[in-house]
């Protein structure tokens, strides 16, 4: 259910409606729009007492939302959501495309800082890098854990990048919420509903990756879990799905971008690295993503990809990343968007640290 306030409704009137809805035992989600406020209502089992609400001062209309997802739906909020970050002017979903890049895993200070410097130089405003890795094999490198997050936070200070990193469970989510600027929920956890609810109570925006075999509806319902808990800063991410095709690690489903844009106001970016599985096809897929209307890309970059502890085969070298960004700039212009320009950053003092050894 959605309560649409009048264009000239006062703040007090909006608050009075929220109070009434909460008295009825439901949850309110104020959704400020360009011209008027809408109030999303969730938690109702059947029809909300629409008549009682429609007669409150300042209310223009009470609308039933018939889709299973409410808060993520364009029915609730027709304008595109622009996700913003504290202390930064970087956005996801605005006219500037989001450029997120960095290694699959944080391995050492030296490895992370080299990658961070390279991606910042090419224009990235977000540094990716996993400290908690969901690996297919329990014997594969599982990530550095909290020390990895501390390195990400140090790289943020050194290069002025926002950091995005994955949380895999309750414990790591609390740590990621503390150290990072954006919480990544990985493909394998897209339907970990307990984790989604927790991310919904976290303070940072969430990057929600599509599950390996998830439909668009399932992805939107996963985002709804996060939003229903009060975190409205959610960015969706297409990262390739499992199909019969065996020429790539996964099949990049570019068709989900325009389909998602129709149904939801949330931004959606593309991860061409996990779709491609090999570095020579990352750039073409990234170009397709921007052409089809994605709000950005997240790309794996490693200065010594041959010795990476995870996903080396699909990691770009810095010069390949910079060349790809050059191509994306030209395509962005065609679709009426722009990529961020490189910012001038302080140069950090190198401080060597021992690399983590994979077992
Ligand atoms: C990753 O970003 O390194 C990762 C594990 O991604 P996904 O969850 O899409 O497999
Ligand atoms: Mn990876």
pLDDT of residue 32: 81
Which DSSP letter does residue 166 get? Answer: E
Q: What is the pLDDT of residues 85-104, one digit of tens each?
A: 999 999 999 999 999 999 99
Round to whole Å and give the CA distance between 97 and 332.
8
Distance from the alpha carbon of residue 187 to the mean position of ligand 1, in angstroms = 6
The answer to whether 180 touches 206, Cβ cutoff 8 Å, is no
Residue 134 CA: nearest ligand 1 atom is 5
What Rg do the C-alpha atoms of the chain give, in angstroms?
Answer: 21
279 in Cβ contact with 320 (< 8 Å): yes
Q: Is the pLDDT of residue 347 over 70?
A: no
Number of Cβ within 10 Å of residue 343's Cβ equals 14
Count other Cβ atoms within 10 Å, centred on residue 16: 16
DSSP letter for 281, please. Answer: G
Closest Cα to atom 9, ligand 1: which residue?
187
Which ligand 1 atom is the nearest neighbour of the CA of 104? 3
For 265-318, the pLDDT digits (tens) are 999 999 999 999 999 999 999 999 999 999 999 999 999 999 999 999 999 999
Tell me the C-alpha distance between 248 and 250, whole Å: 5
Percentage of residues of the chain with pLDDT beyond 90: 87
Q: Which atom of ligand 1 is nearest to the CA of 130?
A: 3
Task: Answer left, alpha or beta for residue 339, where phi above 0 means left and psi between -120 and 50 means alpha.
Answer: beta
Residue nearest to ligand 1 atom 10, measured at CA: 187
Q: How far apart are CA 57 and CA 28, in angstroms?
A: 17
Q: Find the 33 Cα to ligand 1 centroid distance in Å.
A: 33
Which whole-number Å values give the CA distances from 28 to 153, 180, 199, 229, 230, in the listed order?
Answer: 34, 28, 18, 11, 9
Q: Give the atom of ligand 1 at the shortest distance from the alpha carbon of 128.
A: 2
Dist. CA 213 → ligand 2 center (Å):
18
Residue 359 has pLDDT above 60, yes or no: no
pLDDT for residue 263 is more than 60: yes
If you measure from the C-alpha of residue 256 to the centroid of ligand 2, how many angstroms do you get, rounded to a whole number?
21
Which residue intervals of 90-233 are DSSP H helices? 109-122, 146-159, 170-179, 193-200, 216-228
Asked if residues 340 and 99 have their Cβ atoms less than 8 Å apart, the reply is yes
Q: Which atom of ligand 1 is nearest to the CA of 310?
A: 3
Pocket test for ligand 1, best of 240, 274, 309 (most atoms within 8 A of CB): 274
Counting other chains too, the contacts that 45-52 makes at CB distance below 8 Å and 24 or more residues apart are 47/1, 48/1, 48/21, 48/24, 49/24, 50/1, 52/20
Instruction: Report the alpha-carbon distance of residue 161 to residue 322 in Å, rounded.
Output: 16
Q: List the one residue out of 76, 43, 29 whose CA is nearest residue 230.
A: 29
The 3-class SS string of 235-253 reads EEEECCECCCCCCCCCECC
Helix (H) or strand (E) holding 101: strand 98-102
Helix axes 146-159, 109-122, angle to 10 degrees: 40
CA-nearest residue for atom 1, ligand 1, is 104
CA of 79 to the centre of ligand 2 (A): 32
**Which residues form ligand 1's pocket by a CB distance below 6 Å?**
104, 130, 134, 186-188, 209, 239, 271, 274
- Which of 271, 299, 302, 310 for a ligand 1 pocket mutation test, highest count of atoms within 8 Å of Cβ? 271
166-170, 202-206, 222-226, 355-359: the lowest-pLDDT one: 355-359
Q: Are strands 296-300 and 98-102 parallel, antiparallel or unpaired?
A: parallel
């Amino acid at each position: 259910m959605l309560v649409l306030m009048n264009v000239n409704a006062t703040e007090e009137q909006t608050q009075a409606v929220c109070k009434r809805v909460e008295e009825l035992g439901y949850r309110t989600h104020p959704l400020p729009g360009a011209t008027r406020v809408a109030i999303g209502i969730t938690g109702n089992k059947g029809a909300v007492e629409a008549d009682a609400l429609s007669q409150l001062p300042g209310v223009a209309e009470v609308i039933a939302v018939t889709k299973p997802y409410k808060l993520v739906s364009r029915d609730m909020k027709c304008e595109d959501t622009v996700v913003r970050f504290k202390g930064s002017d970087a956005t996801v979903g605005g006219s500037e495309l989001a450029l997120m890049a960095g290694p699959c895993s944080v391995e050492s200070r030296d490895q992370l800082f080299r990658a961070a410097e390279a991606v910042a130089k090419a224009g990235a405003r977000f540094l990716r890098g996993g400290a908690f890795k969901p690996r297919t094999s329990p014997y594969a490198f599982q990530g550095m854990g909290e020390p990895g997050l501390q390195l990400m936070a140090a790289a943020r200070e050194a290069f002025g990048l926002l950091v995005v990193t994955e949380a895999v469970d309750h414990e790591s989510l609390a740590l990621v919420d503390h150290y990072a600027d954006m919480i990544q929920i990985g493909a394998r956890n897209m339907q970990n509903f307990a984790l989604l609810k927790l991310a919904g109570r976290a303070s940072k925006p969430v990057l929600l990756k599509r599950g390996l075999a998830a439909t668009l509806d399932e992805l939107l319902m996963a985002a709804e879990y996060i939003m229903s808990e009060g975190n409205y800063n959610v960015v969706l991410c297409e990262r390739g799905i499992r199909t019969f095709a065996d020429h790539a690690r996964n099949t990049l489903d570019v068709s989900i971008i325009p389909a998602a844009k129709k149904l939801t106001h949330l931004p959606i970016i593309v991860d061409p690295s996990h779709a491609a599985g090999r570095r020579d096809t990352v750039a073409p897929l990234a170009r397709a993503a921007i052409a089809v209307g994605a709000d950005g890309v997240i790309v794996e970059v490693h200065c010594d990809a041959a010795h990476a502890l995870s996903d080396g085969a699909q990691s770009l070298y810095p010069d390949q990343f910079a060349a790809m960004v050059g191509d994306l700039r030209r395509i962005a212009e065609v679709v009426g968007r722009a990529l961020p320009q490189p910012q001038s950053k302080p140069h950090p003092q190198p401080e060597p640290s021992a690399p983590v050894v994979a077992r």
